[in-house]
Structure 1
Amino acid sequence: MRKTFLTSLAVLLASGTAFAQSASDGKVKIGILNDQSGVYADFGGKSSVEAAKMAIEDYGGKVLGVPVELVNADHQNKPDIASNIARQWYDTEQVDAIMDLTTSSVGLAVQALSKDKKKITINTGAATVDLTGKACTPYGFHWAYDTHALAVGTGGAMVKQGGDSWFFLTADYAFGYSLEQQTSDYVKANGGTVLGSVRHPLSSQDFSSFLLQAQSSGAKVIGLANAGLDTANSIKQAAEFGIVQGGQKLAALLFTLAEVHGLGLEAAQGLTLTEGYYWNLDDKSREFGKKFFARTNKMPNMVHAGTYSAVTHYLKAVEKAGSDDADAVAKAMREMPVDDFFGRGGTVAANGRMIHDMYLLQVKKPDESKEPWDYYTVLATIPGKDAYLDPNKAGCELVK
């Protein structure tokens, strides 16, 4: 009997499922943690919460026969607040996974905490490549986009159009640094030069001094290594200084449909940008876009669509693993392909990077738009293998 017991125990341990083949506490609980009141509220915000709800509902509201619950909170773009919320969710509210995590400093902090707690994180709103590079973890995943994909897309397009000298207006935290660095490297690798940069605080209201430095640099392209309302305000104030009229171009390195809508086609027309999803791309994209619009009165951007995809993939992984144990789920997430309206033919690399196609887009002129939210012309599809860093070169210790 003793021998039989030990043999059975060894089999269970080897399979990584020593716990029961079910949710460990009678439910599966997901948290959406993002900016819901600040500079990135439109970028992800409550709309990401709604996208997560849609994914859970479309999955049937249950996995492994137990209910899927959703909680959400506003981290106010502060890593300490985000970490405190995440710790409380894990320690007292039985949250199994946290997603969105808009703001790279927040994403890095919560991913590090989640490693210690053995919990899954899927960053759909944060951008820095460090999430799947030097800061990678066995339980951390990066879904919708990253700074390398933006540099290859928008940066590459501007260089090809003759924009071979750059000056950066950069948000003063991890995301901005990463986006500036990735784009600078790409510009230089393609024969361009970087004439300088200036950093501004998150949620700035006055960009005049920063824009004047960019203007006086004489750079052909002013790279806006910021996002959300910071990018929109940069563009508005650049118009007041006549920067584009003076011959310089603006590169909105992280700009999505939500911000284009807020800025309006008159002001945004002609901007080149990169997203991982566009609602009017094809029938599959339009189907999700219209369902989302019916609930939110707005069309989704890549963060909202990416959150839906991430929640769905997580639930599929729980089902495949037969458990909500983080090790088993993380293994299943890497093994399964991602083939939905967002991550078409997508794969999850060993470092947690979900590799999928990105789209180079140009904002239409007002008279080119045929219907509400018809804002983009698709210039090119960027294959995932070109958009994202080779996992072997990302600096992640998980990649052997």
Structure 2
Amino acid sequence: MMRALYTLIWLLGLPFALLRTRLRGQREPGYLEDIRGRLGLGPRPPSRPTLWLHAVSVGETRAAAPLLAALRFRYPEHRILITQMTATGRATARALYGDFAEFAWLPWDLPWAQRAFLRRWRPALGIVMETEIWPNLVRECRRAGVPTVLANARMSARSAARYARLGGFVHAVLRDFSALVAQTAEDAARLSALGAPRVAVAGNLKFDIEPPASQLDLGRAWRAGVGPRRVLLLASTREDEEAPLLDALLPALPSDVLIALVPRHPQRFDEVADDILSRGLTLCRRSSGAFPDTNTRIWLGDAMGEMFAWYTLADLALIGGSWQPLGGQNLIEACAVGCPVVIGPHTFNFTTATLDAIDAGAAIRATDEANAAAIARALLNDPERRQCMATAAHTFARAHRGATVRTLQALEALLPSSGND
């Protein structure tokens, strides 16, 4: 009954989903690309065994990099198909994997659309990243004989409580997965409590991401260009976060501190730039190609795919998504390049990684924006402490590697062996 109701809601909402896609396409043209794919439709590609990975947006797409590299080596005869739900996710996937992968939208979660998608691509295996639990998708995969794995899975206490209210419906959905591979023992325990019968723990794939040499070189070049100025990075900020942070930071920091601000979502770049200019601040936009001079107060990171470069540049990073109740953002990339981190009070989507980073001495939690400004001022004036945090960050990131190997072992049990042993 619950599944029928869920499908009916999707069916009734389909006209609104189409309208919303059209409206978003006015701001982000990528949403208007291949609308038929949202319904699972499109030409059938040439026959070839397919490994399919779904990553909803940017973070999950980037996290899949080490796993995709391992799959390409292990199964070179297979096509790699990557699906997304967002235009920014697709743009990121093309930038990272465009030399070897194919791309499609994941259809809206209607049974007939999912069946059309599976008939079109005929995947040998489906890998769904992190939190993407689509009931009709996994049911149709099971019916079609497509083994499907929830990989790098995470389940916060807040999400688990919401899912638990759905009772047997969630239990049935989780049982449709062929396997679940969780990031932490806590994630695995919550998934098991919801009814998942097969949950392994592999760690977080994001720890296995290698910072690209080109990004490290770019960040070092920026560092040389900035010279002796200290750089505070506001990384992956979300709506309603930039203004309170700037209100707290600007009076607390001397004018020679360059604030680099990189919003999480590209559709907000212009909005954030307008807010900065409305404050009478000097602004340089990364997209202009110009370099901030000594009078520039804010350097706006309005280009995609350069987070490792920004972390390499920065003396200290304040991680976005954690200053409003949004659950936080990934701090592992910052740690991987040795950038000290300050995070806000809201990190429920990354609880274990955050607590582990704090325990390791790589990160500090601030209670609010004013507290963050005080911590930032103290750290920017204390290079020895920053160096200790940078060393701790490197150690923390290296100590948690290995999730790719463990995840691949779970996938290999569902696929035939390859010649690359």
**Shared fold by TM > 0.5?**
no
Higher RCO structure, 1 or 2 (CA under 8 Å, sep 6+): 1
- Please, what TM-score do these two structures have when normalized by structure 2? 0.31
- Please, what TM-score do these two structures have when normalized by structure 1? 0.32
